[in-house]
Amino acid sequence: MTAFNLKKFIKDKEVKDLLAGLATSMDEDFCVKDNDNEILYGTDGGDMTNRLPVTANGETVGLVYGRNDKEIAVMATCLNHLTGAETLIRAQTAARQAAWNELTTIYDFVEQVNAFDIQQIADLLIRKVSGKIEADNVSVILINEKTGKLEFIPDGNGAAMSITAIAESLRSFGNAEIINDCRSDSRLATDSISSLIYAPIKAKGNNNAKPIGFAFASTTDTHPFSAADLDFFRTLVSQAASIIDNAILHKNTVRKKAVIDMAKTLVATLEKRDLYTAGHSRRVKKYSLAIADYLKDINTEDKDRLALAAELHDIGKVGVRDKVLLKPFKPTEDEWNEIKLHPIYGEEILTHIDEFEDVIKGVKYHHEHFDGSGYPDKLKGSNIDLFARIIAFADAFDAITTERPYERPFDGKKVLSPDDAFERLKKDAGTHFDPEVVAAFTKAFTDGKITA
Ligand SMILES: [Fe+2]
Ligand SMILES: [Fe+2]
């Protein structure tokens, strides 16, 4: 805080008028001098030997002289009230200016950054911090949600070993803080930096959640960080946090869509390869959703997952050789065993992609039978994933109402009408199929919701 300038203060007309008014009302002469003995108000008549200090911010900034103690005391009290009020106004103005600067910085931040580019957000955060806080290093680190690994952005692996080690120590920190003596802080175990300022990056609107990352600035010299540095750093990081959180969400959504589109393209390619199953996945999805509409406790999100599982249920057939898959006659036992591997292949294709976590069971178990006589794991009853039980029925319904390479009319099997197929499959409730799924399908069928 700058020193209080008594001379400038007393030059103010309002202050001068007030002092003159006081002097007149008390019928006394006064003189105010600064610490250099310069007269700022009144005249020194030589007989003004009594004096009292004038203070501002707890420091003596001048003296008030007069002839009588009592009157001087009134004058000094009045002056000290005035300097106190002036100090307060200045502090408030400074605080308002600081708040304004902070707002401007944040506004700039939001304006300047591409809200979906995490690298760019981190880069801007680092530049903003570096422009305001004296630091040798500013790092932004995200914690990979799946692997738990720390990821420096925007550099990737560019951070020095010492900084990487400090980042590892910081991952267990909670609230924003300053450490101005890093070498004696047992949590850090470092000799490479002297001061550090830390702030967590928390997902928007969830301050109690574990941080999705953190930022820190450090110095190697003895320059300590101040409370104002921490305020600025914390505000900027928290602002960046909500943008980063949005960007991650956006990135995941884009990625999810890309991965799902890729899988659907794979299925479409498969169906092009095998003309007999053209449209099979689409129809199985449609029948599965019609069944789901008549089952209790299936919400919209479940239906989205079911739709995806149904659409991808035969994706594993890409692993079955053309010569087997496209064979126009009934397969041999070996060939049949190869076809029966497609649910496992499906699981293998989808298993490494997070986006498919919720649909794998529906794919893997769509050939299980309710009585345990299916494949690949001979699961029974409710041990079979509900999506798989639904898809199993939808799959069978489509299989017997459509020509297929290994169940074709010329092999002695007839393509059935929907009514005949329905009557035929109903008999397998409790053996092949989950009775509740069959009941749901029955209602959907009766209501005219099952159309080819
Ligand atoms: Fe299948
Ligand atoms: Fe199928």
Ligand positioned closest to the Cα atom of 317: 1
The residues placing their C-beta within 5 Å of ligand 2, an ion, are 314, 395
Rounded CA-CA distance 388/435 in Å is 14
> Do 157 and 83 fall within a single domain?
no
The reply to whether 302 and 431 lie within a common domain is: yes
Residue 344 pLDDT exceeds 90: yes
Residue 101 pLDDT: 62
d(CA 270, CA 317): 7
Distance, CA of 197 to CA of 233 (rounded, Å): 8
Kindly indicate the confidence band of residue 1, based on its pLDDT and cuts at 50, 70 and 90. low
Rounded CA separation 275/283 (Å): 15
Sheet with 59-66: list strands edge to edge: 39-42, 31-34, 59-66, 50-56
CA of 426 from ligand 2 middle (Å) equals 19
| CA 270 centroid distance within chain | 37
DSSP 8-state assignment for residue 385: -
Range of lowest pLDDT (157-166, 185-194, 281-290, 310-319): 157-166
Using CA atoms, how far apart are residues 134 and 393, in angstroms rounded to an integer?
67
pLDDT given for residue 96 in this prediction: 61
Residues of the chain with pLDDT > 90, as a percent, come to 31
**Ligand 1 centre from 171 Cα, in Å?**
46
Q: Is residue 258 part of a domain?
A: no
Distance 306 CA to ligand 2 centre (A): 14
Averaged pLDDT score across all residues of the chain: 84
Measured in Å, residue 448 CA sits from the centre of ligand 2 at 23
In a domain, residue 400? The reply is yes
Domain co-membership, 145 together with 96: no
CA 97 – ligand 2 centroid, Å: 68
317, 276 Cβ separation under 8 angstroms: no
- Residue 28: what pLDDT? 84
CATH number at residue 18: 3.30.450
CA–centroid distance, residue 309 to ligand 1 (Å) = 12
Q: Ligand 1 center to residue 148 CA distance, Å?
A: 36
Ligand with minimal distance to 310 CA:
2
Give the distance (Å) from ligand 2 centre to CA of residue 272: 15
| Ligand approaching nearest to the C-alpha of 346 | 1
In a domain? residue 79: yes
- Distance (Å) from CA 41 to ligand 1 centroid: 100
Dist CA 393 CA 403 (whole Å): 17
Tell me: do 351 and 324 sit in the same domain.
yes
In a domain, 422, yes or no: yes
Domain final residue, candidates 73, 108, 143? 108
Q: Based on C-alpha coordinates, what's the Rg of the chain?
A: 39
Nearest ligand to the C-alpha of residue 283?
2
Four-CA torsion 359, 362, 363, 364, nearest 10 degrees:
110
Q: How far apart are CA 193 and CA 155, in angstroms?
A: 20
Rounded Cα distance between 77 and 356, Å, is: 77
Q: Which two tokens stand for residue 194?
A: 């002297």
Regarding whether 341 and 241 lie in a shared domain, the answer is no
Question: How far does CA 395 lie from the centroid of its chain?
Answer: 39
CATH code of the domain containing 311: 1.10.3210.10
**Of 251, 283, 318, which residue is a domain's last?**
251
State the Cα angle at 295 between 288 and 423, rounded to 5°: 60
Based on the domain organization, do 20 and 152 belong to the same domain?
no
If asked whether residues 124 and 240 sit together in one domain, one would say yes
Ligand nearest to the CA of 277: 2
Q: State yes or no: pLDDT of 266 exceeds 70.
A: yes
What pLDDT is attached to residue 410? 41
User: Rounded to the nearest whole angstrom, what is the distance from the C-alpha of residue 378 to the centroid of ligand 2?
Assistant: 18
220 Cα–ligand 2 center, Å: 64
Average pLDDT over residues 43-54: 84
**Which comes out higher in pLDDT, residue 340 or 160?**
340
Kindly give the distance from the C-alpha atom of residue 255 to the centroid of ligand 1, in angstroms, as a whole number: 27
The span from the CA of 41 to the CA of 33, in Å, is 7
Give me the numbers of helices (H) and strands (E) for the chain, helices first please.
15, 9
pLDDT of 209 over the 90 cut: no
Higher-confidence residue of 24 and 300: namely 300
Answer yes or no: do 386 and 414 share one domain. yes
In 3-state terms, what secondary structure has residue 224? coil
Angle (CA) 47 49 53, round 5°: 140
296 alpha carbon to ligand 2 midpoint, in Å? 24
What is the reported pLDDT for 158? 53
Ligand 2 centre distance from Cα of residue 251 (Å): 32
pLDDT at 313 > cutoff 90: yes
Residue 396: nearest ligand to its CA?
Answer: 2
Asked if residue 290 and residue 394 are part of one domain, the reply reads: yes
Kindly state whether residue 452 falls inside one of the protein's structural domains.
no
Paired tokens of 123: 């880069």
Q: With respect to residue 84, please indicate whether it lies within any of the assigned structural domains.
A: yes
Split into its structural domains, the chain has a count of 3
Q: 3-state class of 55 per DSSP?
A: strand
> What does the buried/exposed string (b/e) look like for 90-127 if buried means 16 or more CB atoms within 10 Å of the residue's CB?
eeeeeeeeeeeebeebbeebeeebeeebbebbbbbbbe
> How many angstroms does the Cα of residue 399 sit away from the middle of ligand 1?
10
Most confidently modeled of 20-34, 215-229, 354-368? 354-368
The closest ligand to the CA of 284 turns out to be 2
Question: Same domain, yes or no, for 76 and 146?
Answer: no
Q: Per-residue pLDDT averaged across 59-75, rounded?
A: 87
Do 350 and 292 fall within a single domain?
yes
Domain assignment present for residue 268? The answer is no
Per-residue pLDDT reduced to its tens digit, 95-153: 666 665 655 565 566 566 666 778 888 888 888 888 888 888 899 998 888 888 888 88
Mean pLDDT of 362-383: 97
Question: Residue 261: inside a domain, yes or no?
Answer: no
The whole-number average pLDDT for the span 265-292 is 84
Residue numbers of the domain that contains 347: 274-446
Q: How far is the CA of 252 from the centre of ligand 2 (A)?
A: 29
Beta carbons within 8 Å of 342's beta carbon, 6+ residues apart? 314, 316, 317, 319, 320
Q: What's the pLDDT score for residue 16? A: 82
CATH code for the domain of 139: 3.30.450.40
Higher pLDDT, 303 or 271: 303
Which tens digits make up the pLDDT trace of 431-450? 999 999 999 999 999 999 88
Amino acid at 399: A
Query: Same structural domain for residues 283 and 427?
Result: yes
| Nearest ligand, CA 279 | 2
State what percent of residues in the chain have pLDDT above 70.
88
Report d(CA 364, CA 217) in Å as an integer: 49
What gap in Å lies between CA 365 and CA 363, rounded to an integer?
Answer: 6
Given 108, 137, 158, the domain boundary residue is 108
Ligand closest to 344 (CA) is 1
Distance 276 CA to ligand 1 centre (A): 13
> 373: pLDDT confidence band, cut at 50, 70 and 90?
very high
Q: Which of 392, 337, 401 is nearest to 370 (CA)?
A: 392
What is residue 351's predicted lDDT score, i.e. its pLDDT?
Answer: 85
Greater pLDDT, 277 or 23: 23
Q: 340 alpha carbon to ligand 1 midpoint, in Å?
A: 8
Residue count (the chain): 452
Calculate how far, in angstroms, residue 112's C-alpha sits from the geometric centre of ligand 2: 51
State residue 380's pLDDT score: 96
pTM above 0.75, yes or no: no
